[in-house]
Amino acid sequence: MKHASDHQEHERDIQHREHHRSGRRGRLFESGRMKLLVLHLIQQSPKHGYEIIKEISDLVGDGYSPSAGTIYPTLTSLEEMNLITLLDVERKQYQVTEYGEAYLKEQQDMLLALLQKLRLRREIHNNDQLIDIHRAMENLKTALRLKLNIADLQQEQIHQIAEKIDQAAIAIGRL
C-alpha cells in the first residue's frame, strides 16, 4: 500500500495531467469527470468497456452516448494510474484497485456534484414542462459561443456579459 504522501503526489500529478489535457470548458464532462464517472461505475461492479458506454448512455439520457474512442483510452489511463486493473484479461473486464477506492473517497464531493448535474440534465430533457427552459439554456449557450468567437472581444464586453449572466442567475434564484 502506498503512503499518504505518495498518494497526494499522485493526485497532484493526475490533476496536472487532466488540466493540460482539457479542451474547451462547458462540456458535459469537464476535465477528469469522465474518468471519475467511469471509475465510479466500475466500483459498483466489474465492467467491460461496452457496459460502461451503455451505463453512461442510460445515466446521461437524451441520446448521449460516449464513443469507444473516449471510453477505451479512459480505461487505459485509469489502468496506467493504478486506479483500475483487469479482472478478466481475456474478456477485458475491469475492477477498481485499493488505490482507486481511496481516490474515489477523496473525490466524493466532485462525484456527487457530477451525478447531481447528470440527474438534473436528464430531468430537464425528459420533462416536457421544462422544454422552454431547455430551449432558453441552449439559446444562451449559442449566443455565448457566437460572442466568444469574436477575436477582438474587449475586456469591458467580457465584464458586461459576465454581469448579465450573474444578474440572470440571481433573478432566477429569487423566483
pLDDT score recorded for residue 78 = 95
Which one has a higher pLDDT value, 106 or 11? 106
- Could you give the count of Cα atoms lying within 13 Å of 11 in the half-sphere of its Cβ? 15
pLDDT over 80 at 13, yes or no: no
pLDDT classification of 26: cutoffs 50, 70, 90: very low
Mean pLDDT of the chain: 80
pLDDT over 70 at 23, yes or no: no
> In the chain, pLDDT over 90 holds for what percent of residues?
35
Cell numbers found for residue 36: 471519475
pLDDT classification of 28: cutoffs 50, 70, 90: low
pLDDT score recorded for residue 14 = 47
Which one has a higher pLDDT value, 108 or 15? 108
pTM of the model: 0.59
pLDDT classification of 136: cutoffs 50, 70, 90: confident
pLDDT over 80 at 87, yes or no: yes
pLDDT score recorded for residue 25 = 34
pLDDT classification of 111: cutoffs 50, 70, 90: very high
- Cα–Cα dist 21/80, whole Å: 16
pLDDT tens, position by position, 40-72:
999 999 999 999 999 998 888 767 788 899 899
Amino acid at 11: E
Q: Length of the chain, please?
A: 175
Quick one: how far is CA 48 from the chain centroid? Answer: 20
pLDDT score recorded for residue 3 = 46
- Burial label, 170 (beta-carbon count in 10 A; 0-12, 13-18, 19+): exposed
